Structure formats: C-alpha cells, structure tokens
Amino acid sequence: MPFPLDTPVSVGLIGFGAFGRLVAAHLAPHADLRVHDPFVPSGVIAEAGAVPATLAEAAACPVVILATPVSTLAAVVEGMTPHLRPGALVLDVGSVKVRPAEIMRAGLPKDVDIVATHPLFGPQSARDGLRGLKIAVCPVRGERARRVGAFLRRALGLTVILTTPEAHDREAAAVQGLTHLIAKVLVAMEPLPTRMTTRSFDLVMQAVGMVRHDAPEVYHAIERENPFSAEVRRRFFDLAAGMNAELGEGDSRREA
C-alpha cells in the first residue's frame, strides 16, 4: 500500500488521548479512521468522526499510527503484531524517537515499513491550524519516509524535518527538555505576578501555558526516555548553580 493517502484508505489509530484526537481531527478528511483506545468510550470516538475499533481491527489497516505513551509502546506493538498485514506502514508520534524506533524495529514484522515521527507541536500550539508547524520524520525501515513527508507538506501544510532518531533526540533534549523543565519550576513557584509584568515575562508565561496541561506521560518521556536529556539537565543545573554562587558572593561583599 503506497503512502501518501492519494486515495481513501483505512488508517488505524491506536491511542485517543489529547494528541490522538488532534491526529484524528486533521487526518479525518484524508482517510477512513479506525480508532482503538480501551480507555475512551466508543461514543467519544464516533463523535470525532472516526470508527471505534478493536486492536485487531485497527492493526489490520494498511497504515497504522501509534499515539500511545512510550511506556506502553512495547506492549501495544506486541499486541498488534499478529494482526498486521504484510506491507503495512506503521508510524508513531511520540516525543522521543530513539527508544520507540528500537521497540518498533525489534517488535514489528520484517515486512512492515516503519517511520518514526514527532509533531513538534501540541493541541495548544495547533489551535489555529497546522500550516507552518514543524514535524520530524525519521526513516526506520523501508523507503516510504519521504512519501510520508511529501503528504504532510502537501495535505497538512507542515514543515517537514527529515532526520534520524538519534539526531532528533539530541536536539529535543535541549529544545523540549529545558522548556518543560523550566515550565515545571515556574508552575511550582505560582502564584507569580500577572499585573506588573514585562513583555519578556509574558512570553515566558505564554510558553509555560503551552505545556502546563500536557499529560504527565509526556513530561516523563521527554525527561526520562530521551537518552540525552540527563546530560542537558546536568549542564543546566551546573551553570545555574555557578551563577547562583556568583550572585551569592556579590551579596556577601555588599553586606561586608
């Protein structure tokens, strides 16, 4: 089955959390969506314009999108594997790429193509549409990654970054890891000023607002499943500690 979706085709979507629903909303005009999520009532799925499906039914589609947490991905892959058709295309949409790519490469049949993707946006930043937003596309197995990217550019207006899982995670460790880390600290410091603020402070809080309601699984994946996040955090805290020490010495000199 070729990709992109040049003709109507069934797409299995496994996982219907906040991001799964975002995927469904934008793919519905291009595909016949079969959605499986045991924790979401079938009526909610139907209201979104998709067809509720069992895991077997979703996995039997020519294209299967995994929108599940990294922590459950191995179990999902194991459960869906007996139902995959030869030549199927499987994609994930997780926030990290090295670990999911390893899980899918090891667990999925050899005759299944794999493309790891990471939409570099969430429901908050996609409220006004997808056009111009970025998505990372990582070939894992097969030759369809470029065709996936072409569909995402043409049909959804996304800016496609073709990369590898390792290169993605190296950059995401700083881009996402620091953003979510700083946001967590600022949320913990609330209440913060809202009246006498600067434009720069408002922008920082706007960024916090874009990630404050992300599911805990997203934060844990970004900080724990990315193999490069720990080193970025260490460097950040070391530099912050050094700056704090410098400021402390200055305070001591003034007091003397």
**What φ, ψ does residue 79 adopt, rounded to 5°?**
-70, -30
Q: What is the pLDDT of residues 61-115, one digit of tens each?
A: 999 999 999 999 999 999 999 999 999 999 999 999 999 999 999 999 999 999 9
Q: What is the pLDDT of residues 1-17, one digit of tens each?
A: 445 555 668 999 999 99
Q: From residue 227, give the alpha-carbon distance in Å to each of 4, 77, 99, 121, 244.
A: 31, 21, 8, 21, 28
Mean of per-residue pLDDT scores for the chain: 93
Domain definitions of the chain by residue range:
10-163, 168-245
DSSP line for the chain: --SS-SS--EEEEE--SHHHHHHHHHHGGGSEEEEE-TTS-HHHHHHTT-EE--HHHHHTSSEEEE-S-HHHHHHHHHHHGGGPPTT-EEEE--S--HHHHHHHHHHS-TTSEEEEEEES--TTTTTT-STT-EEEEEEEESS-HHHHHHHHHHHH--EEEE--HHHHHHHHHHHHHHHHHHHHHHHHT-S--SSS--HHHHHHHHHHHHHTTS-HHHHHIIIIISTTHHHHHHHHHHHHHHHHHHHHHHHHHHH-
Fold of 10-163: Rossmann fold (3.40.50)
The answer to whether residues 138 and 163 touch, using CB atoms and an 8 Å cutoff, is yes
What's the pTM? Answer: 0.91
**Mean pLDDT within 181-192:** 97
Q: What are the structure tokens assigned to 163, written together?
A: 């990369």
Q: What is the pLDDT of residues 19-65, one digit of tens each?
A: 999 999 999 999 999 999 999 999 999 999 899 999 999 999 999 99
- Amino acid identity, position 137: V
The answer to whether residues 158 and 181 touch, using CB atoms and an 8 Å cutoff, is no
**Mean pLDDT within 176-183:** 96
